[in-house]
């Protein structure tokens, strides 16, 4: 558990920015219910469950090979490849 005076992580701050935009009427977002439960309880946003048939989809990670790749990019790509449920092997 973090001390009360510690700043939220960058990811948590970004998710709160998304929720803030939604509550301001600027759009919709797909976030975990646990991350916005307090906003829903406060009546700032409305939450809807994604129907089972739409919960999983194939997403492709596409990038240009001719651009300089940073170490952060390489670590991100490496993490994706190490997570088996995220990787679908292409048929040859």
pLDDT above 80 (res 1): no
- How far, in Å, CA of 20 to CA of 2, rounded? 23
The SS3 assignment for 59 reads coil
pLDDT tens digits for 40-83? Answer: 999 988 999 888 888 777 767 777 878 788 888 888 888 877 76
Q: CA 23, 27, 32, 35 torsion: positive or negative? A: negative
pTM above 0.75, yes or no: no
Q: At what angle do helices 10-23 and 33-41 cross, to 10 degrees?
A: 40
- How far, in Å, CA of 87 to CA of 83, rounded? 7
């Amino acid at each position: 558990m973090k001390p009360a005076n510690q700043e939220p992580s960058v990811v948590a701050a970004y998710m709160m920015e998304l929720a803030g935009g939604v509550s301001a009427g600027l759009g919709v977002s797909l976030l975990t219910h646990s991350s916005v439960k307090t906003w829903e309880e406060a009546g700032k946003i409305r939450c809807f469950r994604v129907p089972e048939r739409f919960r999983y989809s194939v997403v492709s990670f596409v990038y240009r090979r001719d651009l300089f790749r940073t170490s952060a990019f390489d670590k991100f790509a490496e993490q994706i490849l190490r997570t088996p449920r995220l990787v679908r092997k292409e048929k040859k």
